[in-house]
Copies of this chain bind each other. A is one copy, B any other.
Amino acid sequence: MKIPKPTVRRLGLYYRCLLRFKDEGVNFVSSQDIAHRLNIKPSQVRKDLSYFGEFGKRGLGYNVKKLVSEIAHIIGVNKEWNVAIIGAGNLGSALANYPGLAKHKFRVVAIFDNDNEKVGKKIGGITVSHINELKKIAEDLNIEIAVVAVPENSAQIVAEQIESVGIKGIVNFSPVKLRSKLPVEDVDITLSFETLAYIP
């Protein structure tokens, strides 16, 4: 069955929401409990989960631990993902140091830049490599996700370099639409400000 894109995105929300319930020592939650925290409708939660199976018990709700592990499996965070950050500027550095990624099984294992000034420096414990070494290092370290954190004008070039080194997907922080064979998730910072600035 075709899964709606918004459903996949919400799965990530459910996952983190459930981790919090788990931290709080809650054992069972209802679709209503989840929905309330995320400001959505309970029916949405149930429908989303129903695409993947029957995880709850009528009259009782969902076993938190079980659902966490089910969703982890569905969205693919039951394994670790090796991540490379391309661009050792402010944003790239911040991401390399961002604890939220490692916590959710995304491990930054390499950082690249084309600026020789930066190559060899350490960021968050990782030595910056030259972008020319992308292919070799990506294969050696089994990198699966690349983060594009370079300026607008080099983003497309980088996207093309990424295509041929065995990487499986791109998280794009640059404010341009990348043309790539790989799946791309855009994190468009400026766009969020602009959307906020719009007043109906």
Contacts and interface: CB of A to CB of B under 8 A. Distances in A.
Interface stretch (A9-17, A57-65, A130-138): A9-17
Given A39-B177, A177-B38, A199-B76, A12 B94 contact: no
Interface residues of A, number: 54
In the complex, the count of this chain's copies comes to 2
Nearest to A75: B198
Given A93-B90, A94-B91, A191-B13, A100 B197 contact: no
B198 A8 contact: yes
A90 B38 CA distance: 26
A96 to B, nearest CB: 8
Interface string A29-41: 0000000011100
B97 A90 contact: yes
A94 B12 CA distance: 25
A190 interface: yes
28 contacts: A3-B200, A8-B195, A9-B195, A16-B175, A16-B191, A37-B177, A39-B179, A75-B195, A75-B197, A76-B199, A77-B197, A81-B193, A90-B93, A91-B94, A91-B98, A94-B94, A100-B152, A100-B190, A101-B189, A101-B190, A101-B193, A104-B190, A104-B194, A106-B197, A145-B193, A169-B197, A185-B192, A187-B187
